[in-house]
Structure 1
Amino acid sequence: MAVIDFFFMAHEPGLIVLAAAICLISSYACIGLLRHARRAGGHMRNVWTGVAAAAVGFGIWATHFVAVLAYRPGFTLHYDLGLTLLSMLVAIVVCGTGIAMAIRGENRRDQFLGGAVVGLAISSMHYIGMASLIMGGRLQWNPALVSLSILAGIVLGGLAFTTGMGGNIRRTLSGALLLTLAICAMHFTAMAAADFTLCFPLLADGELNGFWMSILLTVISLILLGLALGSSVLDEADRRRTQREQERELRDAAQILAVTQKLELAMTHMAQGLGLYGADGRLQLYNQRFPSLLGMDAANDLTGSSFRETCRRTIVAAGIVPELVDERVEATLATHGPLIAGGGEIVIPFAEDRVLQVSHSPVGDGSWVTTVDDITERHRSQRAIAHLARHDGLTGLPNRARYHESFELALEKAGEVRGKVAIIAIDLDHFKEINDNHGHAAGDLVLKTLASRFNAVLREGETVARLGGDEFAAIKVFASMDGLRDFLGRLEEALTRPVDNDGITIATGGSIGVAVWPDDGRDISKLMSNADLAMYRAKAEFDRRICYYERDMDEQARERRDMARDLWTAVENDGFHLAYQVQKSVATSEITGYEVLLRWNRPGYGEVSPADFIPVAEECGAINAIGVWVLKVACLEAASWPEPFKIAVNVSGLQLSQIELIATVRNTLLMSGLAPHRLELEVTETSIIGDKQRALHILRQIKALGVSIAIDDFGTGYSSLETLRAFPFDKIKLDRSFMSEVESNEQSKAIVRAILALGRSLSVPVLAEGVETSAQLDVLRKEGCTEAQGFLLGRPGAIDWSDRLELGMRA
């Protein structure tokens, strides 16, 4: 109560308020700068410690002297300049010590001790400041209040630092208020402890009067105000920075959490096993698939286990006998060591017919990532694909590529046993009829059944392959003909046994051709070609199923095959040319037209007779393309002639069997611009008889276009009179065979006379072919033949229109 009475009765209220304001501002600045210095680091921490020490030191000192100015002892107080400045220096230095202790403290006790040192600084500054008073007499002190003042400064200062160094603005204000209370409590308690009754004013040199003290206090107050504002700004900046850092930390934590969750989700559900090994070779991280794929119990924690231990557990889980485990572990480490160092992968056959692919990827600091992938299905698929690439998909027999490889192996085997190798061509008989009559499913059943039978009778050194369709091939390594004949007998027996198809018996059979290495050839293509030739001969003979290659007999077939190949080449490269043989009126010798004749200069063989290559063209199917070419070129050339002569073009039986012939003729006439009445198509009776109704329908459609139709080689075919009755031909061509003896043989002359009479009765002109002598021509003229052609009238060749025009002008 004495202190309270002293506070209110002995002080100027306005200055007291000013002192309290200065104290509060300096305290707030001190606490704010204290927190800022604590967050700083390095050299800046010392700088901000000094600034905080200056703020609180100046504040304590200013508070003290403003409060002393507010005190009314009954006379004017003066101050010793040296001691006054010393009190300021003590306040700053000791406060700096306490602030440094609090900043570097590790717990709240250290912070309290730092605040207590600041409390000592308050007491020290106060009593040194009191000692700077210049006055006479003797200043008396109350020991109890002096002790209380010092204790108040220490306790409240410690509490101020403990509270103010918290993390929010409320604690900062609380700390500032406690520090203000510490300064004020210490000062006014100490002032109450002082007794000025025995003192009187005294002037001395070097004193500091009230005016200059006011100026000094004003400057210090402005400094404190600036420090307080700076502390507020820094505190707000720190608060915002702290808030941004906290927000960033929250975002980073959320992002890390999301990534971690995704990583855990991905590792949990990834198909591969994954393990991260540290630089020490121990497992740091792995997913559940890692031990599962390696055959280990996923419930056991593998974290910290070495790669060696992982290998050992895997080998034990694979069922390796204990005696071999250590050996397998060392072998595994030797295999995987280089892959761990340099990266790579290895495929490992595992237990239960599984295949694993283990990959190692070094990170760079000695650690590495190991992934384990179950590639069993992929491995099976690759094997299946490899099998399909070398085997037939339907029957499972080796295909052509595998057959060639088997031939190379057979050659090696034959060299070992000093034997020979038989290349065998097998072709099923009437397989097309099986598909047509029973369906393709039945045909597939036949092929698969025969393949199964072939596999059942195979022995060492024997191979059967399917090359395509109903074509098979076999290989046999043999040292004697008995062994070869035994193999052929087994093949024939498998071929001739019927096949049951849902209760329907399908008869099967085949033709077999055999070529022997090295007698019939040394390379596989030559041997297969020779075996094919022998097989075709077996197919052509009714009483033999197996034929061996015979050079003299099979070379004719080879020549026909070579000619067929050259014919197709000629079709592709326009290797043909046309010749024209003149046709003349028997009565007037005027030109009535030209027959178009096909000529082929076969490379390496010269001119080939149509009688030789036309049958081959019909066999290999080239006749259709050749016929189209002849028709197109003949019409184009005839359209360019200066004289509108008619041209006669031969049509084969195969062409006449195709409905497309109508469109071919129509399009050719449109393309060439040739008038339809200038085109005459020659057909034989034989070509009509094959499918008479179809052929006559096609001829009627062509005749409707305005094209003439002539029957060629009349008298040599079948049912000539019926053919003439069924279709109104525009011309009858008498076969050349009747002209060879017409001038000397009465029987031949009678036949010619009868055919000419038939033509006259049907009003159909007759053209005689093969006229080579004047006597033959005289007979034809006497019997009333309309036209003729032959060597006597003109040989086939190109037409020289310049000569013909010159002859015409002379005529």
Structure 2
Amino acid sequence: MVCLISAYACVSLLRHAHKATGRTRHLWTGVAALAVGFGIWATHFVAVLAFRPGYTFAYDLLLTAASLAIAIGLCGLGIAMAIRGTNRWDHFLGGAVVGVAISSMHYTGIAALVMGGTIAWNAPMVGASIVGGMVLAGLAAVSAMGVGWRRLTLGAILLTLAICVMHFTAMGAANFDRCFPLSADGELNGGWLALAVAFVSMLILGAAFGSVVLDETDRRRTERERAREAADAVRLSEVSARLELAMTHMSQGLALYDAEGILRLHNRRLPAMLGLDPAQDLTGLSFREVCRLTIIGPGGTEAADTEERVEQALSQHLPLISGQGGDIQHSFGDGRTLRINHSPIGDGSWVSTTDDITERQRTEAAIFHLAHHDGLTGLPNREQFNERFDMALQAASAGDDNVAVIAIDLDRFKEVNDGYGHAAGDQVLKTLAERLTHGLKDGELVARLGGDEFAAIKSFVSMDALRDFLARIETALFTRVSIGDTTVGTGGSIGVAIYPEDGAERSKLLSNADLAMYRAKAEFDRHICYYEREMDEHARQRREMAKDIWTALEQDAFYLVYQVQKSVATNEITGYEVLLRWDRPGHGLVSPADFVPVAEECGAIGAIGAWVLKMACLDAASWPEPHKVAVNISGLQLSQVDLIETVRAALLRSGLSPKRLELEVTETSIIADKNRALHILRQVKAMGVSIAIDDFGTGYSSLDTLRSFPFDKIKIDRSFMNEVEVNEQSKAIVRAILALGRSLHVPVLAEGVETTAQLEVLRAEGCTEAQGFLLGRPGAIDWNDALEPTLRTSAG
């Protein structure tokens, strides 16, 4: 019974594995292997437990387990070969491997018997047992791969016979007369083996039950498929009726013409879409007659050109009908637009569908307008500007006209947004757009490229025409704008580049116009600036410098020098200010005033500032005396929250005490974004780092800035020291700053002290600290002098 049940489970699961794919096939193959492997093993040991040679057997544990593993492994291999086979011989070969598994398991199981003596084997019967098992198992696999329950049952019976024939023939080939009972370590007694066999038998019953459930599921699935086919036939009939209903109520006009061009079928929507009476039956009319009725319209009165229009329509439609098909759009006098599509069937007949695309065209036109115009002002956007610019250049190259491109950037527009709100800013932009486009002539275009950036094109022959256009633009920009009860002053910077003198292609001309516009923005005495070649050279030089700055960063070509800071009263060293130097290859020493603005433009100032801070802290940490080191922070650095981590990292890496680091910031850099700057400075000051306000007196000199943040030092700009000893006005300003420092309990340092007289004035006025060429020029610090370090002065 165990053998029969396991055989049935095996062939049933083998079928399921053959139908499955991917991981599911591997799963069913494994389950089938387990079912038949356990079945062979259980069949063998049930029989061995029933075998009575006159004494009780014991069983070697390892060999008993090995026999089970062999049965499962080889059966899995045979089953996998059978289900992947493409013909009967492949299936037979896979079943034969299962037969080999039966023989291998049996003889391993016999070897697991623990007993003395030797078993006498009948070689021919041993061979017959192996061959018999392989042949019957191969036939079982061939039968199981067939269709129907009969082939399934036959396969199970043949596999049962394979197992039984092999076992009983093999037992008949064995003679146990010369064997006797024997005990050994690691043996398994009959009781435990009986429990194992019982457990395996339960597993086999479970597998068989599962295979029966699967077979029943397959049978029910087949019945459901047949029922579905019957339901599909009913549904098809219903769909045919619904199709006729849908055709009647579909939004398109539908028409079927035969090979002679006669209308054989149409829906009710077609006459209405063609502008005819919806109740009119067009069946039986030719395509020409349908075209005529559509052109004549519902009134039915022919015009003088009716025939000509009919022939024109036929010349458009007939090539599509006789060819591969396609669609044509027709616009009518009442504003309707129809799209008619012809689809040839192949026998000369065709199907025509008619769509009303009036609303779609309106929507597409609106989308096209939005894609080519600015949403706020209605001016052409950058895409349309570039298209029109290219067209103007092509026309100019073919004729004698010149083309001017004008870059326009509004001045102080951010102040309008900040002071009156973005709604007011939008109103200003719309008003300026209306003024700029008012009275435009042929060859003139004004576009908004984004934000407060505009551009214009002017095709002209004489410069007077260009000057007139520029004058109109300037008037539009500099006329005050009324916003409710408020009047806002506006203005702009205008740059002009002319084709072909200033460039031959669009990008070059736009770039040159931008250069001219930035020149106009930098100059206070004019608002319109024409491009000059020197501007391009200046921009080229700045680009080359930017490239060299990045190279210098990569090659570590920057270096630091230090300028001493001393107490005015005692002449003692109070600290050093670090200064950045760059010996640019091929150009010599470059002033920071020249290369720092370029570094800010190209984005290198952050990396340079971090390097300066790191190296200054490392140098200061190596000094034998605990003097302070002062490091300048640029406005761009102060606008970035990363400055906090940069300072922290420099202190941690160098081991420098935060009390020995002083950061110098200008009031201008704080005003740019006061809240952000003060937040960052508070975070840095919380570490213990000192904060000094640099160049005080040259910027806003706002007392609110000093009130908003507790600075640790005020630095008087060097410009006030030039004539402080002889100019009473300069002396009064210095005296006022010193008094302000004393009242706020903030020490004051004067920069640019170059004469003894200047130092004496500072001492008399009670200045705290000073620095300048009189006290020490910038250079590298030499600590060899035990009394006072000296500076090895650097050039520049």
TM-score, length-normalised on structure 1? 0.55
Task: Give the corresponding residue for 2:402.
Answer: 420
Change (3 A) 1:594 1:491: closer
Task: Give the corresponding residue for 2:760.
Answer: 750
- Alpha-carbon distance in 1 for matches of 2:759, 2:613: 38
Equivalent pair of 2:546/2:599 in contact (CA under 8 Å): no
Task: Give the corresponding residue for 1:298.
Answer: 278
Superposed CA offset, 1:461-498 (max 9, x none) = 11111111121111111111221122222222333333
Equivalent pair of 2:596/2:605 in contact (CA under 8 Å): no
Task: Give the corresponding residue for 2:97.
Answer: none
Q: Give the SS at the match of 1:372.
A: strand
Matched, 1:289 2:276: no
- Alpha-carbon distance in 1 for matches of 2:439, 2:549: 41
Which of 496, 507, 524 matches 1:514?
496
Alignment RMSD (CA, Å): 4.8
Equivalent pair of 1:566/1:602 in contact (CA under 8 Å): no
Matched, 1:407 2:381: no
Q: Give the SS at the match of 1:791.
A: strand
Task: Give the corresponding residue for 2:354.
Answer: 372
- Alpha-carbon distance in 2 for matches of 1:250, 1:684: 88
Which of 486, 509, 523 matches 1:504?
486
Task: Give the corresponding residue for 2:180.
Answer: none
Superposed CA offset, 1:632-664 (max 9, x none) = 643786699798987835233526865847733
Task: Give the corresponding residue for 1:363.
Answer: 345
Change (3 A) 1:685 1:720: farther
- Alpha-carbon distance in 2 for matches of 1:548, 1:773: 44
Q: Give the SS at the match of 2:792.
A: coil
Which amino acid letter does the alignment assign opposite residue 753 of structure 2?
A: F
Task: Give the corresponding residue for 2:517.
Answer: 535
Which amino acid letter does the alignment assign opposite residue 314 of structure 2?
A: L
Equivalent pair of 1:420/1:516 in contact (CA under 8 Å): yes
Which of 683, 708, 713 matches 2:664?
683
Equivalent pair of 1:665/1:702 in contact (CA under 8 Å): no
In the TM superposition, 1:175-194 aligns within 5 A as: none
Matched, 1:721 2:738: yes
Equivalent pair of 1:274/1:369 in contact (CA under 8 Å): yes
- Alpha-carbon distance in 2 for matches of 1:422, 1:682: 49
Superposed CA offset, 1:427-457 (max 9, x none) = 2232222222332222222222222233321
- Alpha-carbon distance in 1 for matches of 2:270, 2:624: 93
Task: Give the corresponding residue for 2:443.
Answer: 461
Task: Give the corresponding residue for 2:321.
Answer: 340
Which of 632, 637, 662 matches 1:651?
632
Task: Give the corresponding residue for 1:124.
Answer: none
- Alpha-carbon distance in 2 for matches of 1:692, 1:310: 74
Q: Give the SS at the match of 1:264.
A: helix
- Alpha-carbon distance in 1 for matches of 2:369, 2:362: 10
- Alpha-carbon distance in 2 for matches of 1:729, 1:576: 37
Larger displacement relative to structure 2 (598-607 or 340-349): 598-607
In the TM superposition, 1:480-629 aligns within 5 A as: 480-552=462-534, 554=535, 558=539, 562=543, 566=547, 578-581=558-561, 596-598=578-580, 608-617=590-599, 620=601, 622=603, 625-626=606-607, 629=610
- Alpha-carbon distance in 1 for matches of 2:287, 2:367: 36
Which amino acid letter does the alignment assign opposite residue 538 of structure 1?
A: A
- Alpha-carbon distance in 2 for matches of 1:603, 1:400: 41
Change (3 A) 1:419 1:789: farther
- Alpha-carbon distance in 2 for matches of 1:789, 1:650: 20
Which of 382, 392, 406 matches 2:374?
392
Offset at residue 404 of structure 1 (A): 2.3
- Alpha-carbon distance in 2 for matches of 1:562, 1:397: 33
In the TM superposition, 1:147-162 aligns within 5 A as: none
- Alpha-carbon distance in 2 for matches of 1:332, 1:604: 77
Offset at residue 613 of structure 1 (A): 1.7
Matched, 1:324 2:320: no
Which amino acid letter does the alignment assign opposite residue 239 of structure 2?
A: V
Which of 237, 241, 244 matches 1:261?
241
Change (3 A) 1:559 1:330: same
Task: Give the corresponding residue for 1:432.
Answer: 414
Task: Give the corresponding residue for 1:672.
Answer: 653
Change (3 A) 1:279 1:579: same
Change (3 A) 1:505 1:734: closer
Change (3 A) 1:337 1:638: farther
Equivalent pair of 1:632/1:668 in contact (CA under 8 Å): no
Equivalent pair of 1:683/1:710 in contact (CA under 8 Å): yes
Which amino acid letter does the alignment assign opposite residue 480 of structure 1?
A: S
Change (3 A) 1:348 1:710: closer
Which amino acid letter does the alignment assign opposite residue 305 of structure 2?
A: L
Change (3 A) 1:728 1:709: farther
- Alpha-carbon distance in 2 for matches of 1:773, 1:644: 19
- Alpha-carbon distance in 2 for matches of 1:625, 1:646: 26
- Alpha-carbon distance in 2 for matches of 1:456, 1:287: 53
Which amino acid letter does the alignment assign opposite residue 738 of structure 1?
A: V
- Alpha-carbon distance in 2 for matches of 1:256, 1:655: 74
Equivalent pair of 1:434/1:443 in contact (CA under 8 Å): yes
Equivalent pair of 2:321/2:344 in contact (CA under 8 Å): yes
Q: Give the SS at the match of 1:386.
A: helix
- Alpha-carbon distance in 2 for matches of 1:565, 1:465: 32
In the TM superposition, 1:126-145 aligns within 5 A as: none
Superposed CA offset, 1:198-245 (max 9, x none) = xxxxxxxxxxxxxxxxxxxxxxxxxxxxxxxxxxxxxxxxxxxxxxxx
Superposed CA offset, 1:114-144 (max 9, x none) = xxxxxxxxxxxxxxxxxxxxxxxxxxxxxxx
- Alpha-carbon distance in 2 for matches of 1:259, 1:548: 75
Superposed CA offset, 1:340-391 (max 9, x none) = 2343332413213333222222223332221112222322333333333332
- Alpha-carbon distance in 2 for matches of 1:642, 1:750: 30
- Alpha-carbon distance in 2 for matches of 1:506, 1:285: 70
Equivalent pair of 1:345/1:360 in contact (CA under 8 Å): yes
- Alpha-carbon distance in 2 for matches of 1:433, 1:710: 29
Change (3 A) 1:638 1:327: farther
Equivalent pair of 1:426/1:513 in contact (CA under 8 Å): yes
- Alpha-carbon distance in 2 for matches of 1:549, 1:747: 49
Q: Percent identity?
A: 45
- Alpha-carbon distance in 2 for matches of 1:305, 1:473: 60
Equivalent pair of 1:424/1:531 in contact (CA under 8 Å): yes
Which amino acid letter does the alignment assign opposite residue 299 of structure 1?
A: A
Which amino acid letter does the alignment assign opposite residue 653 of structure 2?
A: S
Change (3 A) 1:707 1:578: farther
Task: Give the corresponding residue for 2:365.
Answer: 383
Task: Give the corresponding residue for 1:452.
Answer: 434
Structure 2 runs not aligned, ≥5 long: 1-226, 696-714, 721-733
Change (3 A) 1:467 1:313: same
- Alpha-carbon distance in 2 for matches of 1:693, 1:391: 37
Task: Give the corresponding residue for 1:310.
Answer: 290
Which amino acid letter does the alignment assign opposite residue 476 of structure 1?
A: K
Which of 251, 254, 260 matches 1:271?
251
Q: Give the SS at the match of 1:323.
A: coil
- Alpha-carbon distance in 2 for matches of 1:286, 1:374: 16
Change (3 A) 1:602 1:333: farther
- Alpha-carbon distance in 2 for matches of 1:569, 1:356: 62
Equivalent pairs counted in the alignment come to: 524
Structure 1 or 2, whichever has the larger Rg, is 1
Equivalent pair of 1:423/1:515 in contact (CA under 8 Å): yes
Larger displacement relative to structure 2 (269-278 or 653-662): 653-662
Larger displacement relative to structure 2 (410-419 or 353-362): 410-419
Change (3 A) 1:625 1:458: same
Equivalent pair of 2:749/2:771 in contact (CA under 8 Å): yes
Equivalent pair of 1:769/1:789 in contact (CA under 8 Å): no
